[in-house]
Amino acid sequence: MEMILDHLKRMRELDQIYDCVDTDDRNVLMMAAARGQYRMVKLLSTYQGLSKDRLWRAKDAGGRTARDYAVGRKHKDIIDFFDGTEVEVEEVDEGPTEHVERGIDLTKVSARKVKNATAAAAEAAAGATKSAVEGPITEPLWPEVKAVLEAEKLPDRTSWLRDLNVTRRKAAADGDEADAEAAALPPPLPGSFVIDPALWRCTTLNVLKLQMPVGAIIALPADVSRLDILSTLIIAGNMIQSLPESIGDLKHLKVLEAGNNALTALPDGLSRCEALEVIDVSHNALTTLMPLAPLKQLVSLHADSNQLTSLDGLTFSELERLVDLSCSGNQISALSPEIGLLAGSLMTLNLSSNKLTAVPAELGQLGKKKKLQKLLLGDNPIKDPRVKKNLKKAEKGGRDLKEALKFLEKSAGKKGKKKGRR
């Protein structure tokens, strides 16, 4: 709903909200109040550019106001809000509304369609399933979380906190020393460390970084999906063993940094994060990258020091934006000829310290558009001494890299001639 309001405001058509009614003359605020959607009621009442009085005083065909609907359905929190007697408590998250607004392209529809679509969006939002954890709402345990939730109450959205960095590790003088010292500490006793449940109510966050005591958490809670506008998730160095399938609900996620954990597999749900551009899952125990197969927007992928035996899961023909690919320190034994399809974008390729005994001649195609700047394939048991020599030379970059790529490309032609003679 907020996205619709923002668009209408930019188009200077925010007044359409007042005339957006159903067949019973119920406006958006009435429908939200009838269904107990406190956050939507509050959003519509405090949104800059909308007249709260005009919305509150509007009546449907039966003469009922939005407050009358709240009274009729006994939604006390909304009644208190209308009466100005609400108690300052944390609100229950009513779940992401992205699915409500999906498919509505307000730049391509008439004013009447905008009106109907907005009304339908409000009705659907009113009946949406709540994703909040059942039970009483507790006060935030962490001051950082409390600050985010307090800021969310401010009417001016520019004052909302969008980034949250929670660090609970013992600090040291230097960053590397801090990580080493943290890793040396014994893990907390089971049940002695709890992620603040209120964290998942911080739905205004774009960036979340968690640095917990090593071993304190072994799985990222499924409730992370409630942060539905999150674009960056940094959970590196936490010894997390699994990511939830619900991570696929983070449709706006562009950056995932989950290196230095204990992941043995990536969830299939990750394949639904179609906006992902940067992934770092280095220093885990992954055996496959298959869940990444549908992702086409990848710009950088680091999966060093895992247990990969191939790059299956990377659809090279679809990765037109991939600039950086690093999978060193694995067990990769073969490289697909389709690697050459990355010639239009790839600038860095690091496959050192793997089990490659040969490389496809198509690797030489990476030099065609002069994008590639770094090629690292050292510490591989390459059998052909000439290829091995040229790959070693390529590590110097510049002219040496270009000559090495030309050598590989020529070798493809020679192989073709030999086959033709047979």
Residues 347 and 245 in one domain: no
Q: Which helix (H) or strand (E) holds 302?
A: strand 300-302
**Residue 365 within any structural domain of the chain:** yes
- Quick one: pLDDT band at residue 299, thresholds 50, 70, 90? very high
Of 299, 306, 297, give the one whose Cα is nearest residue 327: 306
The predicted structure's pLDDT at residue 421: 39
Residues 310 and 188 in one domain: no
The predicted structure's pLDDT at residue 89: 43
**Residue 131 within any structural domain of the chain:** no
Average pLDDT, the chain: 81
SS3 253: coil
Of 216, 94, 236, give the one whose Cα is nearest residue 165: 236
SS3 324: strand
- Quick one: pLDDT band at residue 130, thresholds 50, 70, 90? very low
CA gap 314, 296 in Å, rounded: 9
Look up residue 45 and give its two tokens.
């009442």
Q: What is the CATH number of the domain that holds 315?
A: 3.80.10.10
Look up residue 136 and give its two tokens.
């009483």
Higher pLDDT residue, 97 or 352? 352
CA gap 198, 220 in Å, rounded: 15
The predicted structure's pLDDT at residue 49: 80
Whether this prediction's pTM lies above 0.95 is answered by no
Please report, rounded to a whole number, the percentage of residues in the chain having pLDDT higher than 70: 77
Look up residue 404 and give its two tokens.
């090495």
Residues 386 and 350 in one domain: yes
C-alpha triplet 310, 312, 315: angle, nearest 5°? 140
The predicted structure's pLDDT at residue 102: 34
Please report, rounded to a whole number, the percentage of residues in the chain having pLDDT higher than 90: 49
The lowest-confidence range among 42-51, 122-131, 149-158 is 122-131
Q: Are strands 278-280 and 255-257 parallel, antiparallel or unpaired?
A: parallel
**Residue 241 within any structural domain of the chain:** yes
Residues 110 and 155 in one domain: no
Look up residue 7 and give its two tokens.
């668009």
- Quick one: pLDDT band at residue 110, thresholds 50, 70, 90? very low
**Residue 275 within any structural domain of the chain:** no
Domain boundary, last residue among 230, 265, 300: 265
Structural domain count, the chain: 3
The predicted structure's pLDDT at residue 368: 84
CA gap 114, 106 in Å, rounded: 6
Q: Averaged over 200-209, what is the pLDDT?
A: 94
pLDDT digits (tens, 9 = 90+) for 5-57: 666 666 666 777 887 777 778 888 888 888 888 888 888 888 778 888 888 89
CA gap 2, 96 in Å, rounded: 11
**Residue 400 within any structural domain of the chain:** yes
Higher pLDDT residue, 127 or 268? 268
- Quick one: pLDDT band at residue 229, thresholds 50, 70, 90? very high
Whether the pLDDT of residue 139 is over 60: the answer is yes
Domain boundary, last residue among 265, 297, 325: 265
Residues 315 and 371 in one domain: yes
- Quick one: pLDDT band at residue 194, thresholds 50, 70, 90? confident
Of 18, 40, 152, give the one whose Cα is nearest residue 100: 40
The predicted structure's pLDDT at residue 21: 78
Residues 411 and 301 in one domain: yes
Residues 337 and 422 in one domain: yes
- For residue 229, give its domain range: 139-265
The lowest-confidence range among 35-39, 130-134, 223-227 is 130-134
Please, which residues have CB within 8 angstroms of residue 64's CB and are 6 or more apart in sequence?
30, 72
Residues 107 and 31 in one domain: yes
Residues 58 and 89 in one domain: yes
Residues 189 and 259 in one domain: yes
Contact 81, 56 (CB under 8 A): no
**Residue 242 within any structural domain of the chain:** yes
Whether the pLDDT of residue 92 is over 90: the answer is no
Max intra-chain CA distance, the chain: 91
Residues 120 and 170 in one domain: no
The predicted structure's pLDDT at residue 62: 85
Contact 338, 367 (CB under 8 A): no
- Quick one: pLDDT band at residue 266, thresholds 50, 70, 90? very high
Residues 192 and 111 in one domain: no
SS3 113: helix
Q: What DSSP assignment string belongs to 132-182?
A: SPSSPPPPPSSHHHHHHHHHHTSS-GGGS--EEEEE-SPP-SSHHHHHHHH
Domain boundary, last residue among 97, 126, 155: 126
Look up residue 199 and give its two tokens.
């964290």
**Residue 279 within any structural domain of the chain:** no
Higher pLDDT residue, 273 or 118? 273
pLDDT digits (tens, 9 = 90+) for 237-259: 988 999 999 999 999 999 999 99
Q: Tell me the CA distances in angstroms from 240 to 145, 243, 391, one per residue in order.
A: 21, 8, 36
Q: Tell me the CA distances in angstroms from 169 to 175, 182, 183, 212, one per residue in order.
A: 11, 7, 10, 6
**Residue 281 within any structural domain of the chain:** no
The rounded Cα 35 to chain-centroid distance in angstroms is 30
Q: What is the CATH number of the domain that holds 98?
A: 1.25.40.20
The predicted structure's pLDDT at residue 113: 43
